Amino acid sequence: MDQNIEPKIEQSSKKNIIVWVIVGVIAILILLGIWYWLAQKKVVTPVTPTPAPQAPAPTAQPSAPQVPAAPKEDSVSSINQELNSIDTGSLDQEFQAIDADINSL
Partner 1 sequence: MKKIAVSLIVLGMMAFGAVSLAAPKATGTSVNLGQNILDEIKRNRIMTREEFEAKTAEIKNLMEQKQAELRNQIQTKREKLQAQIEAKRKELRNRLAKIKDEHKKQIVERVYIQVNELNKRITDHFLNVLERLEKVLERISSRAAKAEANGQDISAVKTAITEATNAINAAKTAVQNQASKVYSVTVNTESSLKTDVGKTRQTLHNDLKNVFNLVRTAQEAVRKAATTLAQIPNIDELEIPATQPATTTQPTP
Residues of this chain that interact with partner 1 (CB under 8 A) are 19-20, 22-23, 26-27, 30-31, 34, 38, 42-43, 45, 47, 71-80, 82-83, 86-89, 91, 94-95, 97-99, 101-105
Q: Taking the complex as a whole, how short is the minimal distance between the CB of residue 4 and partner 1, in angstroms?
A: 25
Q: Taking the complex as a whole, how short is the minimal distance between the CB of residue 49 and partner 1, in angstroms?
A: 11
Nearer to partner 1, 13 or 80 (CB): 80
Four-residue CA torsion sign, 24, 29, 30, 31: positive
Q: Taking the complex as a whole, how short is the minimal distance between the CB of residue 31 and partner 1, in angstroms?
A: 6
Integer CA distances (angstroms), 64 to 41, 53, 54, 61, 70, in order = 35, 19, 16, 6, 18
List the one residue out of 71, 91, 90, 66 whose CA is nearest residue 81: 71
Q: Taking the complex as a whole, how short is the minimal distance between the CB of residue 52 and partner 1, in angstroms?
A: 16
Nearer to partner 1, 49 or 56 (CB): 49
Task: Decide: 68 and 52 in contact? Cβ < 8 Å.
Answer: yes
Nearer to partner 1, 59 or 104 (CB): 104
Alpha-carbon span 37 to 49, nearest angstrom: 25
